A = this chain, B = another copy of it.
């Protein structure tokens, strides 16, 4: 048993859609979350910048002595997971590998599509993770850059702009006989119904956040590190900008009110001195 908290970080508030599943699957765990809302989004930025930002954001959470860090950001997981695993002194679980694993299992050899940000798709991280598990698996990566701003603006699956964007991006997937779609961005579960409506009932949808929460559960079980505390666990959120907006928009992702949000000034997480092993 280990009552230390789970640490979760994201470029902004999207990672709360992963926390939502962690809360359902592991209701007794305490969670500390850091959203880098001052520098959001990561999805249009380069690998070195995303690696630097993700390491700074994750490192901030070390002060809470977490038993595990979840990189609840597809872009950070896709571009920088190796860097984070190498640099951080606790286990790190990203969202790409669990999503890839579920996709391979459900596809049974039929075509898979992964949708995500520009940076996630350009990195080919999902394609590589899927091929590592099933070298012959057909897989298509597709960037859907408007989905994040559509969700951030509060638009849902019934919104005409969401429907047209989904049709514009996803129509080619129908022609390609896609059998499984991976929601490779933490914002996309909020548009799940629009994606499903566009692709039809024969297509299965993988939510990487849910699969990651199951992977966290397996890790904690195997290492005998589940919390012994009675549910519900606590959630403390930290953000680098705009706690009010985080609270308002983020509660839609978490599906419960966000009680505790604290603003973190740049001096507390940017450009902190690093251990000598840090190579950047």
Q: Quick check: B149 and A161 within 8 Å, CB to CB? A: no
Does chain B have a CB within 8 A of A242? yes
Contacts of A241 in B (CB 8 A): 45-46, 49
Does chain B have a CB within 8 A of A160? yes
In the complex, what's the smallest C-beta–C-beta distance from A272 to chain B, in angstroms? 11
Contacts of A164 in B (CB 8 A): 160-161, 164
Question: Smallest CB-CB separation from A39: which chain B residue?
Answer: B39
Determine how many copies of this chain the complex contains: 2
Q: Quick check: B161 and A152 within 8 Å, CB to CB? A: no
Contacts of A236 in B (CB 8 A): none
In the complex, what's the smallest C-beta–C-beta distance from A87 to chain B, in angstroms? 17
Q: Quick check: A152 and B160 within 8 Å, CB to CB? A: no
Does chain B have a CB within 8 A of A267? yes
In the complex, what's the smallest C-beta–C-beta distance from A192 to chain B, in angstroms? 20
Question: Smallest CB-CB separation from A271: which chain B residue?
Answer: B271
A residues in contact (CB < 8 Å) with B: 37-40, 44-46, 49, 52-53, 145-146, 148-150, 152-153, 160-161, 164-165, 168, 240-242, 245, 266-267, 270-271
Contacts of A160 in B (CB 8 A): 164, 168
Question: Smallest CB-CB separation from A169: which chain B residue?
Answer: B161
Contacts of A161 in B (CB 8 A): 146, 161, 164-165, 168
Q: A164-B164, A267-B271 are in contact. Are A242 and B149 (CB under 8 A)?
A: no
Of the A-B pairs whose beta carbons lie under 8 Å apart in the complex, a sample of 16, sorted by A's number, is A38-B45, A38-B49, A44-B242, A44-B245, A46-B242, A46-B245, A49-B241, A145-B152, A146-B161, A148-B149, A160-B164, A160-B168, A161-B161, A161-B164, A161-B165, A267-B271
Complexed CA–CA distance, A150 and B148 (Å)? 12
Q: Pick the 9 closest A-B CB pairs, nearest first.
A: A149-B149, A49-B241, A46-B242, A145-B153, A39-B39, A38-B49, A45-B241, A46-B241, A146-B149
In the complex, what's the smallest C-beta–C-beta distance from A130 to chain B, in angstroms? 26
Question: Smallest CB-CB separation from A146: which chain B residue?
Answer: B149
In the complex, what's the smallest C-beta–C-beta distance from A232 to chain B, in angstroms? 30
Question: Smallest CB-CB separation from A243: which chain B residue?
Answer: B46
Question: Smallest CB-CB separation from A50: which chain B residue?
Answer: B241
Question: Smallest CB-CB separation from A52: which chain B residue?
Answer: B266
Contacts of A52 in B (CB 8 A): 266
Q: Quick check: B168 and A242 within 8 Å, CB to CB? A: no
In the complex, what's the smallest C-beta–C-beta distance from A273 to chain B, in angstroms? 13
